[in-house]
Amino acid sequence: MTIPEVQHDRLIELFTTLCRINSPSRQEREVVEYVKGFLRGLGLEVQEDNAAQAVAGNANNLVATLPANISGVPKIFFSAHFDTVEPNPDVKIILENGLLRTDGSTILGADDKAGMSAILEAIRIVVENNLPHGQIQLLFTVCEEIGLKGARALDLSLVDSDFGFVYDSGPPVGAIVSQTPTHDTMEVRLLGKPAHAGVEPEKGISAIEIAAHAITRMRLGRIDEETTANIGTIHGGHATNIVCPEVQIRAEARSRTTAKVDAQVAHMIECFEKAAQERGGHAEIHLERHYEGYQLTENDLPVRVARAAARKIGLEAPMRPTGGGSDANIFIARGLPCCVVGTAMEKVHTHEEFVRIENLARSVDLALAIIREVNQMRP
């Protein structure tokens, strides 16, 4: 199987078309419809599940299947997500010095349309050139950016794959995410007692003071090499002349060692509860495991395939840990072996986000190389 040369102009058009379709979390319907049409035009079977109801959005996950044209090879999937971290309805895309970026007023949406466009272009090349392949599925999800909600809601009865590759990380292209943290979130409600701040403040209990006292006691930020913790939002109070009776806080802790995240969460809860008790208030805390971490080695099948494919096209394929999560966390927890591979997206989640066209094309090359590598697994 000779890998055809990627047509840069066509790839740029596909990527920018996807980026120009506004698709913040829970509002992905337009881009889902575009991708459905694209894939059906290539002859793939395309199905939606019922994720929209579960995520309270307007779109479902997409599962597309390209039937095998050779026998005896594993069934694989490629995955990316439709949603972006914020709306960009008026994105202005600039092509300059081999880079695609915006004018700085919005995000580009390369997370994860760089991953999605590379997968789509690779499938288009496979179909147009009648390249040999086993069954390939595409798992495209909604609401990844707000808690991997689409992947959680994915109808697994539509999935028939042995293992897969999630295109949702930055360069170098072909890098493998080997380890991710377990991520816990907490919603904290600190309750005090209102009173007139100018007449009888001593009769009140300030929830803001409780919060301040708790937070100043906490270990936050970088705890160690693999553990972090953060207070993300604080809301409370109505007026300067009222002793604040309630504060709501959202916080998180992550670690690549589960025992460490458990210890950090216990420490944070203790700080909130002790501060409330000392001041005569009350703490209500709701804890949720956002996702479980995972650890892959060079011997795991998706990793072996991806690294072998990458090296055969001149990529180094390093393995690296990360402090974030992706749909792969959910897929692995739900019994779908996979690995996250590096793509062309850079400075994601910022208005300085960009992609290098060369890296975008190399992401396509990598998908084609993976398909070729899987073909060689025939007995």
Q: Report how far residue 65's alpha carbon sits from residue 323's, in angstroms, rounded to the nearest whole number.
A: 32
State which fold the 182-291 domain adopts: Alpha-Beta Plaits (3.30.70)
Tokens representing 235?
């809301």
The residues spanned by each domain of the chain are 8-180+293-375, 182-291
Burial classification of residue 215, based on how many CB atoms lie within 10 Å of its CB (0-12 exposed, 13-18 middle, 19 or more buried):
middle
Q: How does pLDDT run along the chain (379 residues), one tens digit per residue?
A: 667 889 999 999 999 999 999 999 999 999 999 999 999 999 999 999 999 999 999 999 999 999 999 999 999 999 999 999 999 999 999 999 999 999 999 999 999 999 999 999 999 999 999 999 999 999 999 999 999 999 999 999 999 999 999 999 999 999 999 999 999 999 999 999 999 999 999 999 999 999 999 999 999 999 999 999 999 999 999 999 999 999 999 999 999 999 999 999 999 999 999 999 999 999 999 999 999 999 999 999 999 999 999 999 999 999 999 999 999 999 999 999 999 999 999 999 999 999 999 999 999 999 999 999 999 997 6
- Conformation bin of residue 318: beta by default, left when phi > 0, alpha when psi is -120 to 50: beta
Same fold, 8-180+293-375 and 182-291: no
| Cβ neighbour number for residue 226 with a 10 Å cutoff | 17
Topology annotation, domain 8-180+293-375? Aminopeptidase (3.40.630)
Question: Do the Cβ atoms of 117 and 18 come closer than 8 Å?
Answer: yes
**Positions marked active-site:** 83, 144
